[in-house]
Amino acid sequence: MTTASSKWNVTDIPDQTGRTAVVTGANSGLGIATVEALAGAGAHVVLAVRDPRRGAAAAAGVHGSVEVRRLDLADLASVREFAAGWQGDLDLLVNNAGVMNIPESATKDGFETQFGTNHLGHFALTNLLLPHITDRVVTVSSGAHRMPGSPRIHFDNLNLSGEYAPMKAYSQSKLANLLFTLELQRRLTESGSAVRATAAHPGWAATNLQSHDGSVLRRLFMRVGNRFVAQDNKAGALPTLYAAVQDLPGASYVGPDGLGEMRGAPTLVGRSAAASDPSAARRLWTVSEELTGVTFPLSAAATAGARP
């Protein structure tokens, strides 16, 4: 139990014995820190990773009940295969995986890679697994959703063809994460489901995500920042863990409590006006369904009263 003089950390995670969680992008960075904390609290954690060998190497160092399953969020066939193989209840889904500021490229389905991986892959995964989920969906966004230049969803050009810039694409994908959470919670509430959708951002956390930046200058800047400003991956994972286990309202957004939300203990934080727009959230959902071929699977008749 935290007090006014203490800061929330992994020791405050309630007992997770008997619960099952899936963490995407779980073999390094924020993902493996999230796995370690949940498994350490008693949960059975599935590391959903693109490279099972790297996942197995990461899982070998975790104390607790874990397993590794292949999932490539840049390939909708892989997402469908992962979901089709799921049996039984799933208490918690952590949509953690992502790519950041990479050179222009496309997923196997032809989507701009950052939007396709960070948003569309998780959109499809969540909806396909939703009939199994009993408690919560946590999606990892970023403070980059509010970067200068009025970030928005480019509905007329989601792939940013002819106007691609790494940071612009990343910002769009992270804004999409928050709009997805907003609309998912609306639909869950409307359907009568007790499942909650929350979101989190890590502040500035030192992970290998920054090493793939398409700009040499930004990579240098990130390297310096990682050394002198950033939190480590364990501290960076705390907002995700807080969003996953604390009794929070649906659509809550968690981040660090320090200056500029760059580091610190997890707390509820605000989001941009663009990330709070219910009309944009509904439009993005409709477009995402069209692009992925995956729809919201729940109805009020199927879920009302189904869970206490």
DSSP line for 78-122 = HHHHHHHT--S-EEEEEE-----SPPS-B-TTSSBHHIIIIIIIH
What's the number of domains the chain is made of?
1
Residue 245 within any structural domain of the chain? yes
At 91-146, the pLDDT tens digits run 999 999 999 999 999 999 999 999 999 999 999 999 999 999 999 999 999 998 88
At 223-246, the pLDDT tens digits run 544 454 557 889 999 999 999 999
Q: Are 191 and 303 in contact (CB under 8 A)?
A: yes
Residue 238 within any structural domain of the chain? yes
Residues with a catalytic annotation lie at: 170
- Residues of the domain holding 176: 12-292
Residue 298 within any structural domain of the chain? no
pTM of the predicted model, to two decimals? 0.90
Helix H or strand E segment including 61: none
How many CA atoms lie within 13 Å of 59's alpha carbon, on the beta-carbon side?
20
Provide the H-helix boundaries in the chain.
Answer: 29-40, 52-59, 76-84, 113-114, 122-129, 166-191, 216-228, 233-236, 238-245, 278-292, 300-303
Residue 4 within any structural domain of the chain? no
Residue 42 and residue 18: Cα distance in Å, rounded? Answer: 7
Q: What is the pLDDT of residue 179?
A: 98
Residue 209 and residue 118: Cα distance in Å, rounded? Answer: 13
Which amino acid belongs to residue 108?
A: K
Residue 75 within any structural domain of the chain? yes
Residue 305 within any structural domain of the chain? no
CATH number at residue 85: 3.40.50.720
Residue 73 within any structural domain of the chain? yes
Average pLDDT over residues 296-304: 63
Closest by Cα among 264, 137, 275 to 205: 264
Q: Are 117 and 170 in contact (CB under 8 A)?
A: no
B/e letters for 145-172, b = 16+ CB within 10 Å, e = fewer, are bbbeeebebbeeebbbeeebebbbbbbb
Write down the mean pLDDT value for the chain.
90
Residue 308 within any structural domain of the chain? no
Whether residue 88 has pLDDT greater than 60: yes
Whether residue 204 has pLDDT greater than 90: no
Q: What is the pLDDT of residue 232?
A: 85
pLDDT level of residue 6 (50, 70, 90 thresholds)? confident
